[in-house]
Structure 1
Amino acid sequence: MAIITLKNVTFIRNQKKILENINWTVQKNEHWVIMGRNGSGKSNLIKLIMAENWKTSGEITVLGTRFGQDRIPELRAKIGIVGSFIAERFRPDIVSENLVLTGKYNSSMLYKAFSEDDLAVARELMKQIGAGELIGRIYGTLSQGEKQLLLIARSLMIKPEILILDEATNGLDLFAKSRLLTQLHQITQLADAPTLIYITHHPDEITDDFQKLLFLRDGKVVNSGTPAQLLTADSLTDFYQEPVQIEVVDGHHFVLPQKSNLI
């Protein structure tokens, strides 16, 4: 069952083509990585899916909602998003489980009265994804990695059908990034796990939880397929347009510039 379909989608802003002739289909529970350098169009593609930007031409259908024909507000309630830019929206003195609960209302503060039962749901969700130790902690005292984990729990409060992670490891050190990727694995094991769309420009973040990759360059899809097909020296050399070599460590693919014979 396709939950995201883009057909010949082009997005033009200020007379400049940001995305051009994008064709992409995502099946339910088929977890994808969108990879590209800065400025490749990754975030703009996500904004099209969330109807924050509007296509110039082509067709977009997300979770059965066809853009231009069906209502959009209901769709947005089915999509969770996590990114470092969201972390700045919250008061530093908010308690962790209260922050998670804000996801139920899609706000940065708790404007409505809530019950102890509501908090119990938030705490249980934190435990399910390995963030139980953050219960009772003050948001402003958390590390960047802990904040990102909390934001993932928050995004799951609405039980989204799609969870988008937009360069969620930005600002994380090596160990925090590893922990976050472990938590994503736990999310894929939930009974009502959302379909993951993971945006990055780091191939070493592509774990076995992701079945498909989409390569973007200059607003165009240059390749798509499985990690086995695309995480090769030939494929990545073509993608980066620079010769590279790959070192695989514990299943993680590290891409390095190809060694030169010059001294």
Structure 2
Amino acid sequence: MAIIELTAVDFVRNQHHILKNINWTVEKNEHWAILGLNGSGKSSLLKLIMAENWKTNGELTVLGTRFGIDRIPELRAKIGIVGSFIAERFRPDIVAENLVLTGRYNSSMLYREFSEADLDEARALMHQIGAEHLIGRIYGTLSQGEKQLLLIARSLMINPQILILDEATSGLDLFAKARLLEKLHHITQLKNGPTLLYITHHPDEITTDFQKVLLLRDGEVFDSGTPAELLTAPLLSDFYQMPVTVDNINDAYFVLPKKS
């Protein structure tokens, strides 16, 4: 069963062809990594899926909602988003569990009345993903990795069917990145958990939790398939348009420019 389906989708803005002839299908229970260099169209593709941007041509269906035919507001309540750009929206003095609770209302502040039971639900979710040590902490005092972990908990407050992670490890050190990827592993094991769409330009972040990879270059789909099929030196050398080496160490793919 397809939960995302794009057929011949174009996205044009200010006469600039940002996405061209995108054909892509995500089946239920598939977790995808979307790999590409800066400016390849990764974030633009996600904004189409979230209905923040509108396709110029083609057919787009997400969770059974056909863009241009069905109502969109209900769809947005089924998609969670985590990205470094969201981290800047919150007051630095907000308490961690209060921030997590904002995910229920898709806002950066708690504009509505809430109860201790609501906060207990947020705390329970923090326990579920291993963020219980952040309960009671002040957001502005947290490290970048701790903030990202809170944003993941926040995104799960609406029980999303799709969870988008846009450069979620941006600004994290080596160990914080490893811890965050470990938390994502726990999410993939949740019963009735969300489908993950993980956007990155670092192949080493494509863990065994991701069954499929989409390669984007210059706004076009270069290729798609399993990590074993795509993350090879010959194919990635063609993709990056320069010779690279690929080493698989502990199921992580490390890509480096090939020395001349």
TM-score strictly above 0.5: yes
Alignment partners' CA distance in 2, 1:248 and 1:61? 35
What's the CA shift for 1:241?
Answer: 0.7
The reply on whether 1:93 has 2:93 as its aligned counterpart is yes
Q: Which amino acid aligns with 2:210?
A: F
SS at match of 2:88: helix
Which residue does 2:229 correspond to in 1? 229
Match of 1:183 in 2: 183
Percent sequence identity over matched residues?
77
Q: Which residue is 1:239 aligned to?
A: 239
Q: Does 1:214 align with 2:214?
A: yes
The 5-angstrom pairing of residues 23-34 of structure 1 reads 23-34=23-34
Partner SS for 2:242: coil
Q: Distance in 1 between matches of 2:231 and 2:40?
A: 18
1:130 and 2:130 aligned: yes
Distance of 1:206 and 1:189 partners within structure 2: 16
Is residue 95–residue 139 contact of structure 1 (8 Å, CA) maintained in 2? yes
Q: How is 1:252-263 mapped onto 2 (pairs within 5 angstroms)?
A: 252-260=252-260
Q: Distance in 2 between matches of 1:231 and 1:32?
A: 14
- Counterparts of 2:64 and 2:16 in 1: how far apart (Å)? 30
State the 1:191 CA deviation.
1.2
SS, match of residue 85 in structure 1: helix
Give the aligned residue type for 1:243.
P
Counterpart check, 1:145 vs 2:145:
yes
Q: Alignment length, in residue pairs?
A: 260
Instruction: Give the Cα–Cα distance (whole angstroms) in 2 for the partners of residues 238 and 132 of structure 1.
Output: 44
The corresponding residue for 2:50 is 50
Distance in 1 of aligned mates of 2:49 and 2:112: 29
Aligned partner of 2:114 in structure 1 is 114
CA contact (8 A) 1:12 1:56 kept: yes
Structure 1, unpaired ranges of 5+: none
Offset at residue 116 of structure 1 (A):
1.0
What root-mean-square deviation, in Å, do the aligned CA atoms of Structure 1 and Structure 2 show? 0.6
Amino acid at match of 1:12: V
Partner of 1:79: 79
TM-score (norm 2): 0.99
CA-CA distance at 1:28 after TM superposition: 1.1
The amino acid across from 1:236 in the alignment is L
Give the TM-score normalised by the residue count of structure 1. 0.98
Matches for 1:146-185 after TM superposition, within 5 Å: 146-185=146-185
**1:149 and 1:180 in contact (8 A); partners too:** yes
